[in-house]
Amino acid sequence: MLSVRALQKAYNVGKPNERLAIADVTFDVAKGEFVCVVGPSGAGKTTLLRCLSGLLAPTSGEVRFEGAPLQEVPARLSVVFQDYSRSLMPWLTVNRNVALPLKVAGVAKRQREDRIAEVLHAVGLGDVGRNYPWQLSGGMQQRVAIARALAHQPDMLLMDEPFASVDAQTRFDLEDLILKVRSDLDITVVLVTHDIDEAVYLADRVVVLSGAPSRVEEIVPVPLGRPRNQLVTRSEETFAQLRRHLMELVTAH
């Protein structure tokens, strides 16, 4: 689904203040896989995600999405950002926010309405379509952002610390939501997070970045069963071992 080869990203190239953010990143993501990316603060995780989405061009190296070189944001890929309050249009209702990518794609009105109802139901917001984002809690707003990202039925979902701005209980609920959506819709997910526990709970594999300029320190498989449960999964000895190993890798830089 996604292939990253020797990706490098520098800012202000050729200028006195040139800065190398990503030195060398290589990894693959298989169809249907859930991959988390972690690393120390300032490791370039968000820069990497923007390169993976086509929002930012790498300085060198290559990103391929479904076999084709990535030169712009593909139609079959969606991005969910951390700051839901800035990504949603406050003057539009929830329904109209979710409709935006469908209108851009030229989907007929009747089909748009059916799809909006479907994705809002999928994220547990079937009854708030006529509300405005500012009338909803933070967790509900992020659910709207996820629904909008799913509206045009993407093959891959990229998420940039999507649960960082909500309280702990809401975060657990959203983690379980994205696992359910991933399973129900057979979607591939790459999620950047600073939370080691979250990465272990969600992922099939965890890509660990070094400090900036970042390289892939290790790719760690997560041999935990599915479906996962916040209480049961986090209580397993394997979870604790993986958490410790990832913490050692991240804090070593």
- Regarding whether 161 and 68 lie in a shared domain, the answer is yes
Domain that includes residue 56, residue range = 1-76+156-167+186-253
Q: How far is CA 61 from CA 17, 18, 19, 26, 216, in A?
A: 22, 18, 17, 9, 14
- Asked if the structure places residue 203 within a domain, the reply is yes
- Asked if the structure places residue 173 within a domain, the reply is no
- Residue 253's pLDDT is what? 62
Proportion of the chain above pLDDT 70, given as a percent: 100
- Residue 84's pLDDT is what? 75
Angle at 188 between CA 185 and CA 192, to 5 degrees: 125
Q: Give 165's contacts (C-beta < 8 A, 6+ positions apart).
A: 82, 83, 84, 85, 138, 142
Mean pLDDT of the chain: 92
Query: Would you say residue 40 has pLDDT above 70?
Result: yes
- Regarding whether 129 and 25 lie in a shared domain, the answer is no
The number of folded domains in the chain is 2
Q: Max Cα separation, the chain?
A: 55
Query: CATH number of the domain that 53 lies in?
Result: 3.40.50.300
- Regarding whether 132 and 95 lie in a shared domain, the answer is yes
- Which is nearest to 77 in space by CA: 95, 87, 63? 63
Report the pLDDT averaged over residues 97-108.
90
- Asked if the structure places residue 222 within a domain, the reply is yes
Question: Poorest-confidence range of 32-46, 79-93, 140-154, 181-195?
Answer: 79-93
- Cβ contact 98:151 at 8 Å: yes
Residue 164's pLDDT band (cuts 50, 70, 90): confident
- Regarding whether 48 and 162 lie in a shared domain, the answer is yes
- Regarding whether 93 and 60 lie in a shared domain, the answer is no
